[in-house]
Amino acid sequence: MEWLYTSKKVVAYVGTTFIAAGAGIAEKNKVPTIVVASAVQRNHERGFKYWFSPVGKNPDTARITFDLVQTIPPEKRPKAVAIFQEHTDFGLEQAETFKNEAVQRGLKIAAHEKYSPMTKDFSPLILTAKNAGAEVILSSPITPDGMTILRQIKELDYNPKMIVVIRAADDLAWGKAMGPVGDYVVVMGGWHYRVSYPGVDELNKTYQSKFGRPSDMQTGPAYASIQILAAAIEKAGSLDTTKIRNSIGATDMMTVVGRVKFRPNGTVVDPCPAIIQWIEGGQKLVWPKEFRETPFVYPIPPWEER
């Protein structure tokens, strides 16, 4: 986490965290906090006033993922899904939001399987989903588990039509480690360097010149958090943390992640709906339609055709 200091006083926290305790500390100290890479919704349901995030939460991830599913022609649209739930608080929350959204959209939960992090053998989960006829896999594993799951899906010749891998496939290391096996998985990371919001082109040029590659998935939200904080301090006209907090809460501005306006619980209204699909070893923006660089691949090719 980065700390913004002035006269040895912390006036804001900006950074990444999944730690629930961090929210409590910020609230206790009355220090406004903008969290970048946390999809956890529950921290925003604890009545905190100093906890904000410019990225979507687990319910947004589920909703936007199924918005993409709804673009599939009705006659080809999947009817049954499998949920692979990591046995952690985050895994439970994400799995429940996937389940709720799927049911609301009229899909059958063909399998809902749980596992512990760093599991070595996922074959019981995979075979259950395969035998149940699940056409879509919904998961949010850590990177090692995600890689193991995909490799074992291939080994067991399970050919779902769509595979969602939240978190594990976010990083560029996924493509390097997985090769063709990692292709066609869907990621909902909250941002992509091809979204056409004001300031994105300039951000990409700077990032490209410094790192030699397009902006990473969390670059946009990180940059937007500074845009939001700078505007809030300017509006507050003070380094008083309560005044800064009130300015952040009243945010309604365009950023590199789109327009940011916060709900009373600190979550953003209409977060950036960027959905990415790994295609030919790269992260391709496939949704929303107005920004996409390539069509969403569905159904994904069976293993024998890759």
**Residue 156 counted as domain residue:** yes
Could you tell me if 141 and 168 are in contact, meaning their C-beta atoms sit under 8 angstroms apart? yes
Residue 90 structural domain: 59-193+273-305
**What mean pLDDT is predicted for residues 260-286?**
96
Task: Mark whether 86 and 221 lie in a shared domain.
Answer: no
Q: What pLDDT is stored for residue 274 in this prediction?
A: 96
DSSP bridge partners of 300: none
Q: What pLDDT is stored for residue 4 in this prediction?
A: 52
Task: Mark whether 162 and 244 lie in a shared domain.
Answer: no
Q: What pLDDT is stored for residue 114 in this prediction?
A: 98
**CATH number, domain with residue 164:** 3.40.50.2300
Task: Mark whether 69 and 158 lie in a shared domain.
Answer: yes
Portion of the chain with pLDDT greater than 90, in percent: 87
What does DSSP say about strands 51-52 and 80-86: parallel, antiparallel, or unpaired? unpaired
Task: Mark whether 254 and 301 lie in a shared domain.
Answer: no
Task: Mark whether 141 and 284 lie in a shared domain.
Answer: yes
**What mean pLDDT is predicted for residues 233-262?**
97
Question: Given pLDDT bands bounded at 50, 70 and 90, which one contains residue 143?
Answer: very high
pLDDT > 50? residue 3: no
Q: What pLDDT is stored for residue 38 in this prediction?
A: 84
pLDDT in tens, 287-300: 999 999 999 999 99
**What mean pLDDT is predicted for residues 220-240?**
95
Task: Mark whether 148 and 69 lie in a shared domain.
Answer: yes
**What mean pLDDT is predicted for residues 107-132?**
98
Q: What pLDDT is stored for residue 15 in this prediction?
A: 80
**Residue 240 counted as domain residue:** yes
**What mean pLDDT is predicted for residues 22-42?**
87
**Residue 124 counted as domain residue:** yes
Q: What pLDDT is stored for residue 19 in this prediction?
A: 60
**Residue 266 counted as domain residue:** no
Q: What pLDDT is stored for residue 10 in this prediction?
A: 84
**Residue 267 counted as domain residue:** no
- Tokens 């939960």, located at residue: 109
Task: Mark whether 10 and 121 lie in a shared domain.
Answer: no
- Selected residue with higher pLDDT from 217 and 16: 217
Could you tell me if 260 and 228 are in contact, meaning their C-beta atoms sit under 8 angstroms apart? yes
pLDDT > 90? residue 18: no
Task: Mark whether 51 and 19 lie in a shared domain.
Answer: yes
Task: Mark whether 292 and 174 lie in a shared domain.
Answer: yes
Task: Mark whether 86 and 49 lie in a shared domain.
Answer: no
Task: Mark whether 112 and 165 lie in a shared domain.
Answer: yes
Portion of the chain with pLDDT greater than 70, in percent: 95
**Residue 268 counted as domain residue:** no
Task: Mark whether 95 and 177 lie in a shared domain.
Answer: yes
| Tally of domains in the chain | 2
Could you tell me if 41 and 264 are in contact, meaning their C-beta atoms sit under 8 angstroms apart? no
**What mean pLDDT is predicted for residues 209-236?**
95
pLDDT in tens, 161-215: 999 999 999 989 999 999 999 999 999 988 999 999 999 999 999 999 999 999 9
Q: What pLDDT is stored for residue 149 in this prediction?
A: 98
**Residue 230 counted as domain residue:** yes
Q: What pLDDT is stored for residue 8 in this prediction?
A: 63
**Residue 281 counted as domain residue:** yes
pLDDT averaged over every residue in the chain: 93
Q: What pLDDT is stored for residue 1 in this prediction?
A: 44
Q: What pLDDT is stored for residue 189 in this prediction?
A: 82
